[in-house]
Amino acid sequence: MGFTEKQEALVNSSWEAFKTNIPKHSVLFYTSILEKAPAAQNLFSFLANGVDPNNPNLTAHAEKLFALTRDSAGQLRAKGVVVADAALGAVHAQKGVTDPQFAVVKEALLKTIKEAVGDKWSDELSNAWETAYDALAIAIKKAFA
Ligand code: HEM
């Protein structure tokens, strides 16, 4: 079955919850990444001085990543497929991003959304974000090639 209107609505409403406090949610997101993959501190330029919510590059990057995942939900619903632009593929190819790293970022993203939505969290909501993220990750990796 394709990505449903309900799944898209779940992703959109939780994206709104994420946006209510981007610095706070960004801190949780990068802290979760670093817990699982400490070496990521050397990968992201804006983590050089740790997870600082006042660093605009850090919050801008988190916002872009969550926004692109949300857009992917829209693409899945409208066209059944996600396309990433070549520039996005190129950044990740250049950084040599691996599948285990995509998994770490996915886990951190879900943990962050869970905190952002509070008692609205559900398996259905989690699955909708996972599906959108997985499709985007595949699209980014295709754009590397
Ligand atoms: C679906 C998943 C992902 C999305 C949507 C995404 C999105 C982005 C975007 C939009 C940029 C460019 C930022 C800019 O132009 O300012 C970027 C850069 C970058 N991404 Fe990703 N990314 C994803 C997964 C990953 C993963 C798994 C890693 C590795 C842990 C990673 C590592 C990086 C790094 C190191 C940069 C350069 C950041 C810097 O130092 O300025 N990304 N990503």
Residues with Cβ < 8 Å from 54, sequence gap 6 or more?
23
Residue 144's pLDDT band (boundaries 50, 70, 90)? Answer: confident
pLDDT at 1: 67
pLDDT at 145: 67
| pTM metric for this prediction | 0.95
Nearest-CA neighbor of 30 among 99, 95, 108, 91?
A: 108
pLDDT digits (tens, 9 = 90+) for 51-90: 999 999 999 999 999 999 999 999 999 999 999 999 999 9
Ligand 1 near 65 CB (within 6 A): yes
CA 92 to ligand 1 center in whole angstroms: 6
Please tell me the residue having the least CA distance from ligand 1 atom 15.
61
Query: What range defines the domain where residue 95 resides?
Result: 5-144
CA 130 to ligand 1 center in whole angstroms: 17
CATH code of 99's domain = 1.10.490.10
Domain count, the chain: 1
Q: Can you tell me the distance from the alpha carbon of 89 to that of 18, in angstroms, rounded to the nearest whole number?
A: 25
pLDDT at 143: 83
Ligand 1 near 45 CB (within 6 A): yes
pLDDT at 105: 98
Percent of the chain with pLDDT over 70: 99
